[in-house]
Amino acid sequence: MNPLLERLEPQVKELLERIPQPPFREPMLATLARRGPTGRGWVFERKLDGERCLACREGPQVRLISRTGHLRNATYPELADALLAQQEDDFIADGEIVAFRGQNTSFSRLQERIGITDPEIARGSGAPVFLYLFDLLYLDGYGLTRLPLLARKEILEHAFPFRDPLRYHPHTDRNWEAFYGDACRMGWEGVVAKRAAGHYTSGRTTEWLKLKCIGRQEFVIGGFTEPRGGRAGFGALLLGYYENGKLLYAGRVGTGFDERMLLDLAGELARRETAASPFSDRRMRERGEHWVTPDLVCEVAFAEWTPDHRLRQPRFVGLRTDKAAADVIREMPG
């Protein structure tokens, strides 16, 4: 047995599961909340602005797997190299791939890497990436998902030397309001609260809560408007989310794009153009509007929702390739 597992307290060690390394499983996902949890037994982490990833190694084979099960080795070859260089050779860890703009993680900066499938082009892209690990699901023949979170994180912290581009994601047990306040003042996306004794379960859970400093979530692209003036590509994206199997209109976003994104995305939209509106509650077409097959997902930051269920002051952040359009719903804080 791995020494890190051998030295666990007996009551924790008995929760280990002797199993072969499992195939891909859906990661554990946090639920949006208005306020942090009350009482003891919670820890808090910085909410990172990147691409969720399971880091798996089984002997000489390394896999970086997105939350939708897609292999990302060619997009982030230096991260695959870092995992292959570790002394531990049988593990599954959970983490986030990020790029930085200044001191803060930036999903828009990560867009320079997302979509690249040639390792050499990825290495020369000029957008350094890092993999922050915050959980450990499997190690040397044993499943750890039934262990308490803090036990899993302690094993994780000592399993790797954590040299760039591999980083350990720390936590704190500070008062959530103070930590959240500091996070927002420093320009972080938000914080994640996790139950210290919680197990690791796939899918959305209230054992993990996310508190965002600004409104931000994924939306389905259901159409676009024609550009005006000297603008290239398109004017704005028409956004929606699913509710009871119907795509509902959430408004349009026309800011946050650079010229390259305008042109690249315009090409994707043109290939998807269709005559019928995908929105169940918005069938009228205004001048300059076009509909598209609703299979592209983007992330948008916004100030708030209006009383008529539209986005106020939306800003495009980037395309999401790690979430299916059918899974996009309006996130309502509990």
The CATH class given to the 215-327 domain equals mainly beta
Nearest to 72 by CA among 131, 19, 157: 131
pLDDT at position 286, please?
77
pLDDT on residue 332: 85
- 10-residue stretch averages of pLDDT, the chain, 334 residues long: 95 97 94 90 96 97 95 97 97 97 92 92 93 98 98 98 97 92 92 98 96 93 93 95 96 94 95 95 81 97 91 95 94 82
pLDDT at 333: 81
d(CA 125, CA 143): 37
Dihedral sign computed on CA atoms, order 193, 199, 203, 207: negative
Strands 142-143 and 61-66: unpaired
Q: Residue 39 has what pLDDT? A: 83
Which amino acid, 280? S
CA dihedral sign, ordered 257, 259, 261, 265: positive
Nearest to 292 by CA among 320, 331, 325, 258: 325
User: How many C-beta neighbours within 10 Å does residue 226 have?
Assistant: 13
Report strand pairing: 130-139 vs 90-98.
antiparallel
The encoded tokens of residue 1 equal 């047995």
Q: Residue ranges per domain, the chain? A: 3-11+26-212, 215-327
Cα–Cα distance for residue pair 44/172, rounded to 1 Å: 5
Distance CA 49, CA 183 (A): 13
Q: How far apart are CA 171 and CA 46, in angstroms?
A: 8
For domain 3-11+26-212, say whether CATH 3.30.470.30 is its number: yes
Q: Is the peptide bond before 119 cis (omega within 30 degrees of 0)?
A: no
Q: Tell me, what's the pLDDT at 154?
A: 98
Q: Specify the pLDDT at position 57.
A: 98
- 297 token code pair: 């997902």
Candidates 218, 191, 193; CA nearest to 207 is: 193
**According to the model, what pLDDT value does residue 30 have?**
97
pLDDT of residue 284: 67
13, 47, 246, 323: the catalytic one is 47
Determine contact, residues 142/5, Cβ cutoff 8 Å. yes
210 included as an active-site residue = no
Rounded Cα distance, 73 and 65, in Å? 8
Cα-Cα-Cα-Cα dihedral sign, residues 230, 232, 233, 237: negative
pLDDT of residue 16: 98
Consecutive H or E run containing 324: none
